[in-house]
Structure 1
């Protein structure tokens, strides 16, 4: 089993901080079936339209991560939280991939950001 150790400063600054991870074994990454690519492209286009007039800082997950970055002395405008970077790429229409594993992960991440009930 993999062990993750948090730096003491993280525990001190955010005593309730939680982290999760996934380990995959025997995964074969190959080109996505056309149906999956088509559905993912439709999902991307729908999200792009939804995000056109949206300020990304209105998402609680993004605001929270930016706040965390600032508390640790990192400029979130220079080094963006991954959740914000994903949405910015989507807004710029720079989000395409042909790998099913990547498609599923990115779609899951964007959906989670949208729901903002948990943080990336």
Structure 2
């Protein structure tokens, strides 16, 4: 139980019980992965972004691809990818959904 076990399943396995347990665990995992950063820390992270990173993230939030962002800002696609990766790392996010939650109070 100390390693994260949440229940014991005995043989013969009841498929309904297994599916119910999987559903509960997936829901728990999703809620634990939601971005929960205190406001001061979120603000510090956002303030660490450069103006170019903020500009790229703003376009990323509009669901533009790296190629489209590069064209809009007259940059190379690789430059956009680098800035975007750096900004994601600074904010501690890994996708646009997490990005939207992380910057909702700042952009």
Q: TM-score range by the shorter chain?
A: under 0.3
Normalization by structure 2: what TM-score? Answer: 0.28
Determine which structure has more spread, i.e. the larger CA radius of gyration: 2
Normalization by structure 1: what TM-score? Answer: 0.26
